[in-house]
Chain A
Amino acid sequence: MEKARVEFVLNGKAAWVESDPRKPLLRVLREDLGLTGTKQGCDLEGECGACTVIVDGVALRSCLLPVGKIAGRSVTTIEGMGSREAPHPLQTAFLEAGAVQCGFCTPGMLLSAKALLDRNPHPTKEAIVTALEGNLCRCTGYVKIIEAVQSAAELMGGEARTPASEARTQETIPDPAASAMGREFSGIGGSPERHKGWERVSGEALFAEDISMPNLHYMSVVRSPHFHARVDALDVAPALEVPGVLRVLTAADIPGENGLADYSLDEHLLAPVSGRVRMLGDPVALVVATSREAATQGAKALRVDYTPLPHRTEIDRALEAEAIPIHDGGNLLAEDEVGTGDIEGALGESEVVVQSKYITSFQAHMAIEREAAVAYIDEEGRVAVICANHEPHWDRSSLSKILGLPEGKIRVITPPIGGSFGGKQDIWPMAAAALAAYHLRLPVQLAYTRREVMDAAPKRHPYKCDCVVGATREGELTGMKFDALINKGAYDSAGRYVPNYAVTAAVGPYRWKATKARARSIYSNGPKAGQFRGFGTPQAAFAMECSLDELCEKLGADPLEFRLRNALRENDVSGLGFRVAESLDYVKVLEALAPDYHEASLGVAAFNAEAKPGLRRGLGFAGMWYRFGKFGRPLSQAEIELGLDGSFTIYASGADYGQGIETVFTQLAAERLGVSREALRLVNADTAHTLDGDVTGASRNTYWVGGGVTDAARGLRAAILDAAASLLDQAADTLTLRDDRVSSPRGELSLARIAQELEARGIPRRVKGTIDLRDVFPDNERTGLYLPMFVTGACLAQVEVEIETGLTRVISVSSAHDVGRVINRRGAEGQIEGSIVMGMGSVLMEEFIPGLSTGFSDYMIPTMRSTPDIRVHLVETPSRYGPFGVKGLGEAAMLATAPAMVNAISRAIGLRIRRMPATAERILAAIRGEKTTE
């Protein structure tokens, strides 16, 4: 391809490239100029905004700009925005406001904001939304981004400004006991800047796809174009003929197990010849080449002969005898059931019973970063993979089985992750890249296209739920039945656990006389469904909290009063048949929303009384509980080291994909050590350096890994004080450790001095900390594998429906969550705000259609314009065993949002909506009394 010389100005300096002038500026920046701060989220089609740059003062999509077009123009990228020493006010404001979670959309967002402020120094909120709504963010719910831009505008205008860091939380509802625990250090409960925040606002953070290495090679994946087919033959020769293609890898090249180990019990890494592909995008072969283009062409050239088989992406008839068998052994992957009391008796005696069916759809995570991995042979001869994950040690163990290598010959490194929401728990990308590096002994990069993410990465399971709930006329709950058919898609991908999550969430934090909940995971030829924020619980919470709302309407009961009356108390036996093991105060959560609830009720009534033509508002309420912490050993560990120079380094494993666990680790350690966060380094989630922290999932990391970090800080502090005590000849309890020294009335010692003393005495400077609850949970006979620890939350949503079109807008949302103890206020708010907007997407617009959904252009996620007014209430009921009383939040925040919004829609139109998403089309059909296909 003929190249042309294009000259332009880049970040204030003359630049030129020799390039095909059609090549998008985005690729030129990243590939030819090594400026990887500009991100790619979609397939170069202008859908996500992550690649935004400023050209002659205007924010543009660099993926849509042929580089030829910028000849003579002046381009500003994130690298030209500010420096660590002289940051742009927007960079500062984004960090202060907590507007950065994963940081992948951040460079584009910052440049859109900069272009705005450069031409309009005092933008209204509407102007901010107009300028930034083209930039998608999946983490933050946009609330703090808007605040950050407003704050930067004030800063740049030289006005006295409300720091964006001032918390948005309406209030914290503390536990009286919490004050006894003290807030003696500034670290806990504040809103510190994100750990490695600067890297994320400057473009310096290297996400997996940004990593360059000498001699880096590229991979492309040959994927099934069929939903279900037998692989008859593979001809790799045409691929090998493509110039630049080095190697094709097939199932025959897998040295160990052709599987994904514990992540997915029935899934192959590559479909073998005479085996089957069971979903669109099912991988068949890997092509490794010297360039992306060659790899892609090689994959296209490779010939696969398939015999297509009948397929279904639905599960409605999957358990019938004549159903298409997707795996040998039938289409039922797993089922679970819980129950207490005499359910038929309880329902039979109920004066009011509601029976209904609730349906949800496949949903996609839509992290802005696509799946990517870099694998290479490291200096110790290990197969090393840099790839997003949720627990590097688990993945190392899985890779060991796949590659047939001892774990010591494998290293898994966690890079900055551009959003996951559970999706990047899939070990396929990592395994595929590792296999290539293993064979070629070369550095290899794999990056999914967005289309591959859509087809082949996990999705949220669609549910069909039959629900029955009963109550006495006075409004006392009696019995509940729940039966869910869960569309698993083609492979396990941890779906074997989902039925348990479903039934647990369905029972909810209520006092039932009797319960009976069942859920079954069933195969289809849909995409493999896997972990997605809440992992099987949001669908069940949607079904049950909407059922309860129906019951309220039938009883004429107030939804908040009704839940208060029936709320499970800490010492009650739950509908699962056992008591919870951690503190639980659902009543306090519900009461936290009471003022907002009453205010919004009046507002809605007043609006509807005005009878604005064609518009109706509704108020919806929902509660929830969420079992945080998953199953497995009730034990977690981490380490902290005192360096000989007196510095601290935390060694822990808790993947940070935007939720901010790294910030929390540094806060917990700083608090316990008595030093500032700046004094701490963190080595996180690298199997070569850190202990197994167990999986980052089920909102468990702050509690468990944080528990290990806190205990390590305690242990190291004690060792330091002991050493100092003997050096100073003082009792250890008269000493203070602050910042870089230990002081006493008789003198002080630097930490470096103490470190040398420890070294001289042979006392370890690297201390392991443990949270060990094996005594608390001696056996889990009653609770199954899972630890019975729950958090509760509740949500209130106000919506407006246009009666003639069904178009619905979420106007305001209030959310209350028991977080145990606030560690990072902005971080906690950010999790809730992001969940509310993600939940809103699932209610109003998000529906993944297998084979049709191709990316951001047809799988809609909310934009900034849709963000409602959000109020967050953080409720503190300290946990008994977690560090500083913490509980889990990140996933929990998801559960109550969707049912609150759907209840609001149902109440606005006076008709029940029982399906998600409740698109305008479905709402209008309900209003018009039309039968829908379901």
Chain B
Amino acid sequence: MSTETPARSADALRKDDDTSAPAKGAGAVGAVASWVDERTGTAKGFRYLMRKVFPDHWSFMLGEIAMYSLVILLLTGTFLTFWFVPSAGHTVYDGSYEPLKGIAMSEAYASTVDISFDVRGGLIIRQIHHWAALLFIVAIMLHMFRVFFTGAFRKPREINWIIGLTLLMLALVEGFAGYSLPDDLLSGTGLRAAEGFMLSIPVLGSYISYMVFGGGFPGEAIIPRLFTVHVLLLPAIIVGLFTAHIILVMVHKHTQYPGPGRTEKNVVGFPMMPVYIAKAGGFFFIVFGITALIAGLVTINPIWAYGPYEPTQVTAGSQPDWYMGFADGALRLLPGFLEFDLLGRTWSFNIFLGAIALIPVLFTIAGAYPFLEAWITGDKREHHILDRPRNAPTRTALGMAAISFYAVLFFAAGNDIMAIKLHLSINDITNILRLSAVILPPLVFWVTKRICLSLQRRDRDLVLHGRETGRIVRTADGRFFEAHEPLDAHTRWRLVAFESNRPLELPEGSDSNGVRRMGAAKQRLRTRLSGFWFNDRIEAVTPAELAAAHHRGEYEALEAAAVEDSHPQEFGGHLHGGAEEIGTSHAYGHLEEEKSDR
């Protein structure tokens, strides 16, 4: 004890205590704010949050729709639990829906019919719930596409990409669980197929199935178990992950599209208070309102028309909700010969690949992509400016190829409907789709990549030569030119503000003494992948190129060279003019400029 505190009286001890009263003023708002802040100290954080800037773009609303659908689902789902009876217990229907009177069914089904007919407004809640679930997954997927195609998954957002993927996967399972709860004929058939999927799992299949169903299918355990999973387990995980997702968005601050004034070091947009409170808050009501309108006007999942689940019955055109369509389609396409007996055991790859392996494999690939791309580019910087999809042609093409594969599987789930509606052979449709699943993705990859590169070239042309004005000018010596109007700096910036990754050069495989370098094979792979990604690329226009395009003398020389190269006889002269002809020094150019000034 080297420093000694002088003894003080109790009053003296308290004299340093801060008992200052809150600042006066600001009326009622100030009073409430002071009251809360003195007890929580949140004023600083609140001020920060209210001033937080969000950039404006329609594609940023996709994630919002997903968020609001989740809120609608939680709200309407809670309502539904007040009337739904999660039991496979037997009962005989005695409600107001005549066609089902006296029919034996499960309590789950009977209570769902009651919600639809005998609970006032029950049907609207049920239909909002179902429509919101469909919308939820649509929105998640579109949001995911936006994130992928704009490269928003790059550092530092890789964790959020994976959280998002997990959320999508959980949403699929959650949707399927909810779809199965009413125990109608369609959902029972879906569960029956799900049991078939489980049985196809090598080694453990039948054990898993007997555990999940508490014995043989269907048993009586599955409805209450699914109920707990659907209303407690998965929602809790989804809400938890969603919260983490949003917190990370706040921490990272929102990405923004390239544009004048936007840099990697800022966010340009509108503040939370008041603009985004009104816009985003209002948007919640819009999403909810549209869902309610659709739910009121368009019937979804009319379980009363399907009847209760009866294992010996099935309806033609049995289909899952849309989001499970791709897995169902995969099942329809996988040929039977993938099942075989080996070592006295049955290997059902015709089922296992589509029903069990497909979803985890797709999600693993998607989850690995940000890390693969980062490894190939060697890019360790943070990225907050989004890529325009065309400026990442290989990524965009890969994404479109994946979507086309998904689309083939999705349409395959409707092969029977297509056969009926289009009067085609179901066998032909299935075979064509089988072929498409193999051929279409590479084709789409190639086409998309070419389109991206063409769009990039068009951007370059636009920057170099300006906009075509449609005004033809004849010079004194009889030559014709179309006047081009140069882009202003702000418009131009959007087109030139991107980096074009270059393919890696292959380093020497061995050092000067002829010894193979460690990790040479890995490096070779990386170089080859880098070549695949970046060999075809278009660079952004540089100031020097623009200057060259603008200067008549040089430009003419180039133009002549280009014409000679390609089609020497086609042009009698320089009919294809350019902005350089109506440059700053030109009389017509000035005219054009003055016009646009007004």
B is a partner of A? no
A residues with a Cβ closer than 8 A to B are: none
